[in-house]
Amino acid sequence: MKKLLEGWMSETFSRCFKAIAPTNKIKTSNYLAKGNLSVIDQGDGLVAGYVDDKSLKQITVLPVIIFGDHTRRFKFVDFDFVAGADGIKILQINHCLIPKFAYYQCLTLDFPSKGYSRHFQYVKKSNLVYPESKKLQQQIVDEIEKQFTRLDASVKDLKSVKDKLEVYRKSLLKAAFEGKLIIFDQNNEEPLGKITTNRKEKLDPKKNPHSRYIGMADVESGTGKILNEIYAESMVSSSAKFLKNDVLYGRLRPYLNKVVLAEISGLASGEFIILISNNKINPNYLAWRLRCSDFVNFANSLDTGDRPRVNYNQIKEFKIKFPSINQQKVILDEIESRFSVIDKLEQIIDSALLKTEQLRKSILKNAFEGKLITEKEIAST
């Protein structure tokens, strides 16, 4: 605030909070799925895991604010917890601030993002503003939470619709390849190994620096959309060669369902199996077929562990029913027509979700500029 409102104070972050060291810390590998005590670390969610050992409980006066030194996330914690791994700051709140008021204002602090570097050095240089009246602080908190509750309900509804669209997308694919979307002759059925071959050629990316490169992280699950445009010059390891109309199948963690139809030639991560379809099957038809849940489940069942990985000899046994090339084209047109509608609906939902986050920030900004509650409400404090 350029000018303090009447009855408001400005104070340094270091005077508003006292940073205390964790009394105990637990490694990520020791987190449990269930337990007596919650583990709080600097990750996305409020609770990262659980432990049963009550002797690890953090000794502190609750509530506190947890700051992720690397992730820049603030968390309000009003229950017993254990500090997880490294990189958190436990902040005890000065008695002049209502805890939730302090927390919400922390969410508005403007400090630089330095990647995975530590950020507390910047946070503690911040200033906080607050009304001396704790009654007014509570009124502001109450109004923030009332408006956030409405936003949360909207977000829940939007995400529910998005989840239903994803279910519909999967059922649509299933129907398409079972002949329920477009009726087709299902007499043709052959193993994947009979209608494709595996391109095995490897190339040195340094000798092909201007070739497009596709890594696992560059592919959207379920749709095969390319998320990032990068080139081989930034790669080091030997890479898989692919040509236009090859199908790239992500063999690492098959449940991620990463299948790409190559629109140009290029290089790919070794985690892709490069499939060349023969004259019996349209490569785009093949790509969509491999995204179906029955194939995803089949491939995922072939290997287990944290990093399941399949190979061509394993997946080539999967049997695929397919109609004539002409009928395949009709089915593809229908799939892509319906999916384009789903994509547009998802874009609308994503835009609405983004606006809710912008509105959330606006609510907080107004709260700490004294604009969230009316003058009449202020006068009553």
CATH number of domain containing 13: 3.90.220.20
Last residue of a domain, one of 322, 344, 371: 322
Range of the domain at 293: 187-322
Residue 381: per-residue pLDDT: 52
pLDDT of res. 53:
93
User: How many CA atoms lie less than 13 Å away from 372 in the CB half-sphere?
Assistant: 24
Residue with tokens 């972050």: 13
Sheet holding 247-250, edge to edge: 196-199, 272-277, 247-250, 259-261
| DSSP 8-state assignment for residue 197 | E
14 and 113 both lie in a single domain: yes
Tell me: do 241 and 121 sit in the same domain: no
**Which carries the bigger pLDDT value, residue 125 or residue 307?**
125
In a domain, 36, yes or no: yes
With a CB cutoff of 8 Å and minimum separation 6, the contacts of 341 are none
Distance CA 261, CA 272 (A): 12
Residue 347 lies in a domain: no
Q: How many whole angstroms separate alpha carbon 69 and alpha carbon 74?
A: 9
Does the pLDDT of residue 1 top 70, yes or no?
A: no
* 16 and 124 share one domain: yes
Residues in CB range of 374: below 8 A, 6 or more apart: none
**pLDDT at 380 > cutoff 70:** no
* Res 378: pLDDT: 56
Residue 379 has pLDDT above 60, yes or no: no
In a domain, 103, yes or no: yes
Would you say residue 180 lies in a domain? no
pLDDT classification of 117: cutoffs 50, 70, 90: confident
**What is the pLDDT at residue 102?**
97
Q: What is the mean pLDDT of residues 80-107?
A: 94
Q: Which of 281, 306, 310, 307 is nearest to 295 (CA)?
A: 310
Kind plus residue range of the DSSP H or E element containing 230: strand 230-231
**Encoded amino acid at 357, one letter:** E
Q: What is the pLDDT of residues 286-309, one digit of tens each?
A: 999 999 999 999 999 998 777 889
236 lies in some domain: yes
Q: Which of 274, 304, 322 is the last residue of a domain?
A: 322
DSSP-derived 3-state class of residue 26: strand
Q: What is the mean pLDDT of residues 267-286?
A: 97
Clarify whether residues 194 and 110 are in a common domain.
Answer: no
Please give the average per-residue pLDDT across 158-177, as a whole number: 94
Cis, bond preceding 205 (omega within 30 deg of 0): no
* Residue 375 reports pLDDT greater than 80: no
Residue 262 has pLDDT above 70, yes or no: yes
pLDDT in the model for residue 85: 79
Q: Which residue has the tokens 């963690």?
A: 253
231 with 110, same domain: the answer is no
Q: Quick one: which of 195, 261, 252, 192 has its CA closest to 223?
A: 261
Q: Is residue 361 part of a domain?
A: no
User: What is the distance between the terminal CA atoms of the chain, rounded to a whole angstrom?
Assistant: 21
- 124 with 33, same domain: the answer is yes
**pLDDT value for 306:** 73
How does pLDDT run across 43-69, given as a tens digit for each residue? 989 999 999 999 999 999 999 999 999
Name the strands in the sheet holding 37-40, side by side, starting at the edge strand that comes first in the sequence: 25-26, 81-84, 37-40, 49-51
- Confidence grade of residue 215 (pLDDT, cut at 50, 70, 90): very high
In 1-97, at which residue ranges do the beta strands (DSSP E only) sit? 8-12, 17-20, 25-26, 37-40, 49-51, 64-68, 74-77, 81-84, 88-93
Contacts of residue 59, defined as CB under 8 A and 6 or more positions apart, other chains included, come to 23
- 345 pLDDT above the threshold of 90: yes
- The span from the CA of 173 to the CA of 161, in Å, is 19
Number of folded domains in the chain? 2
User: Looking up tokens 């914690």, which residue turns up?
Assistant: 77
Whether 80 is covered by a domain: the verdict is yes
Question: Of the residues 322, 340, 365, which one is the last residue of a structural domain?
Answer: 322
User: Going by C-beta distance under 8 Å and a sequence separation of 6 or more, which residues neighbour residue 270?
Assistant: 202, 237, 238, 239, 240
Q: DSSP label at 139? A: H
Among the listed ranges 64-68, 180-184, 188-192, 297-301, which one has the minimum average pLDDT value? 180-184
Q: Are strands 230-231 and 25-26 parallel, antiparallel or unpaired?
A: unpaired
Residue 23 lies in a domain: yes
Same domain, 195 and 286: yes
Q: Is the peptide bond before 63 cis (omega within 30 degrees of 0)?
A: yes
pTM: 0.77
Residues 112 and 197 in one domain: no
Do 91 and 103 meet the contact criterion of CB atoms below 8 Å apart?
no
For residues 121 and 232, membership in a common domain is answered with no
Angle CA 328–329–335, to nearest 5: 90
